[in-house]
Amino acid sequence: MTEPGTGRLAVSDLTVAYGGALAVDSLSLTVPAERIMGLIGPNGAGKTTTFNALSGLVTPRTGSIRLLGEDVSTLPPQARARRGLGRTFQKMQLFDSLTVGENVALGHEAKKADSRPWRHVFASKADRISQMEAAEAALELCDLEPLAGERVGALPTGERRRVELARVVAGEFTVLLLDEPSSGLDSSETQQFAAVLRQVVASGRSILLVEHDMALVMEICHYLYVLDFGKLIFEGPPAAVLASPEVRDAYLGWAADEAS
């Protein structure tokens, strides 16, 4: 599963340094088609930094990043997005005064945005139709159709989190990097979120998921990568990760404290 060079997203020997400190240290991982892969580990382990390097926001010291077979390691963020790499941020970024449908429709623009933003002003009728269709499909996948006309600012966290997900789904990316997408949800909201994530991968997308909710991670991830101090300390299917004494020492006690 982790053979280098295979998978929709294939990361090999990724190292990111801030000053002298290594935030990510020789990390290799693979995201195959239509899978949910988990990236877990304590606060400060390097998960968000990994996402920043994959999406092109920070420049790694070493490593190669292949997206759909193409080396994108030196491409800027928008070029990676246009090739199918989408992400969400740890801190929610929604437009509270806009409706659910409007927030989600904006996600479609994210993939197309390039160095000539004025082009949006002259969007063709065909562009507007494809934007509407992508937004409708995303709303349906994320169980948000009945809420399309609601103002986002008025919604509870569980629904806001799904709007955030729907917005990146509307970008029609092939691989989604999701950074703690279900944080702040109660257990019934988390269950619904899990069902929605399954629908999203069943629609043909792949997900690399950073998440602290171990119940959710164990339930929906096919395979896990465990980071500690920037290093991969374990990888395997959820059951093997749970059974690993090393992971238990480094992370699981910490995650249980976080959850309580």
Ligand X SMILES: Nc1ncnc2c1ncn2[C@@H]1O[C@H](COP(=O)(O)OP(=O)(O)O)[C@@H](O)[C@H]1O
Q: Give the residues lining the site for ligand X (CB under 6 A).
A: 18, 23, 41, 43-49
Nearer to Mg ion, 50 or 103 (CB): 50
CB of 142 to ligand X, least distance (A): 24
Name which of 139 and 210 has its Cβ closer to ligand X: 210
For 6, the 3-state DSSP assignment is coil
Site string for Mg ion, 46-65 (x = CB under 5 A): -xx-----------------
| Closest approach of Mg ion to the CB of residue 180, in Å | 7
Residues 78-137 that bind Mg ion (CB under 5 A): none
Number of residues that bind Mg ion (CB under 5 A): 2
Asked if 78 and 113 touch (Cβ cutoff 8 Å), the reply is yes
Please report the sign of the dihedral spanned by the C-alpha atoms of residue 53, residue 57, residue 61, residue 65: positive
Quote the least distance from Cβ 81 to ligand X, whole Å: 20
Selection from 109, 56, 108 nearest residue 79 by Cα: 56
Tell me the C-alpha distance between 247 and 239, whole Å.
Answer: 12
Residue 181 three-state SS: coil
Residue list 21-50, contact with Mg ion (CB under 5 A)? 47-48
Angle at 104 between CA 136 and CA 219, to 5 degrees: 85
Per-residue tokens: 160 = 């806001």
Q: Which does 18 bind (CB under 5 to 8 A by kind): ligand X, Mg ion, none?
A: ligand X
Looking at the Cβ atoms of 15 and 130, the one nearer to ligand X is 15
